[in-house]
Structure 1
Amino acid sequence: MPAIAPRLAAALLALSLATGAAIAETRVASWNIEHLGWENGKDYAALAEVGAGFHLIAVQEVMSQDGLDAFERALEARTGADWQVLVSDAVGRGSYREMHAFLWRPEEVRWVDGAALYLDDRDAFAREPFSARFETAEGFLFTLASVHLIYGDSEAEREREAAALAAYRDWLDESFPGTPAFIAGDFNLPPSNPAWAGLGAKASPLIRGGATTLSPVDGRFASLYDNIWAPSGISLPVSDWGILEYPEEILGIDHETARDRVSDHAPVWMTIDARSGHSTFPPLHEARIVADAGDTTRDAAPPALPATFRGNRASGIYHRPDCPGFARISAHNAVTFSSAAEAAAAGFRIAKNCP
């Protein structure tokens, strides 16, 4: 199969790729890059095209240092900027082991301290979570943890690990006192599952609807397994968040190719921006969660907008009324334009899956 041709990332995701100048917005992502580093035909240029719009990425399912190094080099080639890496020891039970990694652009994000695997003395996790503290160029200090919960043979196994994240959250607070902790990764359970009650007393999932795993059917996503859990009840400079549906919106490829050459998971992301005000997230029992993990709707139904051109401010992509994604944009991210020229002038480009 030929390599996927690199394409320009969405304008809104390509957040100032110039080196040397700090920016106010910091975009943080979490991405399960399926078996990164196995001899499985990954297209690293395509991986970098998706990752180029972020400044800090938590990566799950890193299988080798060679694969991680190749991803870092591809990001540097795509962005023209330096990237740095932290990687955990290999974790897992039996012969199957994988690593967590953080990659970041040092002119926008500074690694402060940490690089700690959880001291899991009760063996609650098949793969211990990995955490570190970072600081944005604007001075926001936070802890980021990367989690990949077991899929296992039954949902009960996943629920046991999900319940154990409440104690892990307490450990993060003790290890990094006074620092808000975000727990990101592939949880293999939707946020509607009752097992999240313990963690949900202190944290809230940013992604409350939609789905993040790629269905084999083009344009469809199957399960809301990936997420970022933010501290609840405190003011945070988090201005935006979402799912990057990269096959259609960034690369313009079908799901079969995306699953084979890139990943079967879409990245989830949040934007840290002190200029745009602060958000306070409710604990889980007060949050509105879309219970159907297979539903591809977003946090709220699209607004009643005129049938002209509809853009997604999260991806910088716009859709005509005859495009498949026209009705799938949430109220949180929707913006309208009267013409294609107006959308292009605002930095948006048309979705690759429009007919």
Structure 2
Amino acid sequence: MSIAIAREQHAAILDMHPKPSIAMFSSEQARTSWEKRQAHPYLYRLLEIIWGVVKFLLGLIFFIPLGLFWVLQKICQNFILLGAGGWIFRPICRDSNLLRQAYAARLFSASFQDHVSSVRRVCLQYDEVFIDGLELRLPNAKPDRWMLISNGNSDCLEYRTVLQGEKDWIFRIAEESQSNILIFNYPGVMKSQGNITRNNVVKSYQACVRYLRDEPAGPQARQIVAYGYSLGASVQAEALSKEIADGSDSVRWFVVKDRGARSTGAVAKQFIGSLGVWLANLTHWNINSEKRSKDLHCPELFIYGKDSQGNLIGDGLFKKETCFAAPFLDPKNLEECSGKKIPVAQTGLRHDHILSDDVIKEVAGHIRRHFDN
């Protein structure tokens, strides 16, 4: 990496007001709407404030059911995406100049640079959603093999990089499976922007897929490893249900779900009973990963915790009945699946534990064999 390129990349990482690297749109109407917002930012900001006041007043006037529904939506959003925060909790992920400095220092440290050939901040505008991401090209990676990482609900790529760097178990799986990396923040987390809704969270994932696969200025990936951790497994499941994942478009997929839940409704039920499922459905935050997985045509590997006898265990956050692995360890359910399921277990694995060296090697081996054969 030349000194000039390194300086440019370093400056981009520190930028507190990033602009889109690439703008993508689902329709001409969406493009026109975005261009108008760019031409008249203050007018549209004023209109957003006015509309917010109108919704608040309508909520007061029609508190039941309109206002109550609005409040419930905000509460669900806050619990599901802790990284963005909301009414109940402050955002877990908070940006600052100090964090940016630590983030850049980690990315351009000698130890990290030994494992990467290039570091680039990638900012994607997809309709009304702005996504802040990080692209890492690895020296041993296949040029067209990319791992798309979707984080948990309290994660952001900056914290993950600062705290774990090249020792991150997902980074190590990418390295051993010869994959480059694209990781991103959900709308509302750090510098990513957009209304925090289920549709926009899923849309942020779709934006990354489109960038990796379709954009002329993107990597033109033909082998994609979709790696979802915790909430990221649910976001991944919903997003891939809208993509061609059977290889018929010449793009091959391999899906990894790391300690995911069978559905966000099941998680809500675990904590507050049947009311949780009702709330998740009512507010449109229920993502049924189990159902989406049965329709997935490409290979899907799922990681879970086991006891000394090899039985599924809860991971400290999800009970065993809530875990994504639960239905797919039953051979009867596998008959309903369109694609291959690959279980990988680690003894005593907790939700916040790193994966063992053996599991990292096993997961990476499955990925390599799928793409290399």
TM-score by length of 2: 0.29
User: Larger helix proportion, structure 1 or 2?
Assistant: 2
User: Larger strand proportion, structure 1 or 2?
Assistant: 1
Q: Which has the higher contact order (CA 8 A, sep 6+)?
A: 1
Which protein is bigger by CA-based radius of gyration?
Answer: 2
TM-score by length of 1: 0.31
